[in-house]
Amino acid sequence: MLPAVFLDRDETLIANATLPPPASPPTGWRPGDLYDPARVELLPGALEACRGLRSAGFVLVIVTNQGCVARGSATLLQVEAVCHRVCEVLRSEGGASLIARVYYAPYHPGGSVPGFAREHPWLKPGGGMLRQAARDLGLDLSRSWLIGDAERDREAGVHAGLPTEQCLRCGPGTTYPTVLDAAEQILSLA
């Protein structure tokens, strides 16, 4: 079984909350809802972090809440297009994708779209996406790490069975200002 690094997408790998609003936001849109792949912007250090972790033998998996689907401000196809674009820009120097798989939770209990307006085990802080990835990809959760910008990301890792100390939070005001800082911590202990 392989070790992984689970990566949150928004405000960990790419900017979303800091992007200016779209010219004509869809109904239900909130700041941070990203539905246009042309607006994908890697955060500083994201590419270097992923390259370093992948070179060290970690399987990289993106796990992201996408309640914009439940709220009706994005479709599944739009979320998938954004995730596809993130994988396109996160490539090795040789051109291979660094990301093994992307899991997203299109649910939100406060949504309005039937089928998605509910709680779900994949919705962070639940650990469902991570457990599914472990089953699908043969991952060893006890040797895996998580990097995210929110406390719910860390909680998802703990709920999935990752050791608490292997669930790192990055961003302004945290121990790890960027995903690269968190990745360097992991690499120093690997």
Give catalytic status of residue 33 as yes or no.
no
Rg of the Cα atoms in the chain: 16
CA 154-157-159 angle, 5° bins: 110
Half-sphere exposure (Cβ direction) of 159: Cα atoms closer than 13 Å: 17
Phi then psi dihedrals of residue 12, to 5 deg: -115, -55
Half-sphere exposure (Cβ direction) of 3: Cα atoms closer than 13 Å: 18
Number of residues that make up the chain: 190
Q: Can you read off the two tokens belonging to residue 118?
A: 């509910």
Among candidate residues 8, 33, 149, 153, the one labeled active-site is 8
C-alpha torsion angle, residues 109, 11, 49, 168 (rounded to 10): -60
Give catalytic status of residue 8 as yes or no.
yes
- Sorted by sequence, the CB contacts under 8 Å of residue 4 that are 6+ apart come out as 58, 59, 60, 61, 100, 133, 134, 137, 139, 140, 144, 145
Catalytic residue numbers, as ranges? 8, 10
